[in-house]
């Protein structure tokens, strides 16, 4: 049974939509112009900016008296509350499982938020396990996090595939550990000359189909 090593945000679960929804509600609650959502999205940088830095940027821009820790909690809880599992994603995971693959989530981020999203959306019913960088002590693209996922699953890395949307973390990580990969392009063009995905797909369902097709 080969491993299917899966990214979480913007691969299994939409992150852009929930973050935008939270941001629009939050900006409205503090009386900020609706157009400021573009600024907030740029600061967030697709989730790559540290949450504390995002909180500090918001506090500074709007001169808010709220503590940074409270704003970080609001951001975490607000995004999690708006995150949903697409039934078609769940169906694709079930198909992969029925075809003999073992889906395991490998994600960068904090345990509290990432595990909450996995459990509250019901994603935990469709994957065998998950590895979160904060708990693992190592982040993608470091090959050790993929090796840890295999160790926890008691399965070999040989024969595994990686699916994800991040060129550096997911595809770079797969390349570093010598695994084939599927990149979810999300409308982008591949531009990194150091490595390349084995396949490219426009969404998770197509990515699973590519893996099953070999």
Q: How many Cβ atoms are within 10 Å of 95's Cβ, its own excluded?
A: 14
Q: Is the pLDDT of residue 190 over 90?
A: yes
Residue 1: per-residue pLDDT: 85
Residue with tokens 């080969």: 2
Beta bridge partners of 199: 182
Retrieve residue 9's tokens: 């945000």
**pTM assigned to the model:** 0.91
Q: How far apart are CA 179 and CA 49, in angstroms?
A: 27
What confidence tens digit (pLDDT) does each residue in 62-119 have?
999 999 999 999 998 999 999 999 999 999 999 999 999 999 999 999 999 999 999 9
Retrieve residue 82's tokens: 């708006």
Residue 201: per-residue pLDDT: 98
Q: Is the pLDDT of residue 47 over 90?
A: no
């Amino acid at each position: 049974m080969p491993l299917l090593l899966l990214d979480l945000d913007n691969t299994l679960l939409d992150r852009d939509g929930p973050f935008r929804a939270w941001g629009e509600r939050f900006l409205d609650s503090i009386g900020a112009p609706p157009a400021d959502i573009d600024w907030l999205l740029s600061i967030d940088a697709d989730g790559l900016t540290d949450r504390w830095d995002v909180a500090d940027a918001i506090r500074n821009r709007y001169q808010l008296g709220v503590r940074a820790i409270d704003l970080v909690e609001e951001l975490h809880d607000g995004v999690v509350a708006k995150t949903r599992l697409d039934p078609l994603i769940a169906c694709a995971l079930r198909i992969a499982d029925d075809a003999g693959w073992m889906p395991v989530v490998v994600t960068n981020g904090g345990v509290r938020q990432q595990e909450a999203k996995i459990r509250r959306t019901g994603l935990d019913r469709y994957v065998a396990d998950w590895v979160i960088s904060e708990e693992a002590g190592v982040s993608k693209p470091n090959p050790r996090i993929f090796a840890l996922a295999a160790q926890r699953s008691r399965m070999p890395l040989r024969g595994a595939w990686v699916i994800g949307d991040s060129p550096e973390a997911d595809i770079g990580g797969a390349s570093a550990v010598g695994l084939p990969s599927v990149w979810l392009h999300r409308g982008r063009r591949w531009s990194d000359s150091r490595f390349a995905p084995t396949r490219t797909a426009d969404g998770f369902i197509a990515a699973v189909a590519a893996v099953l097709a070999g």
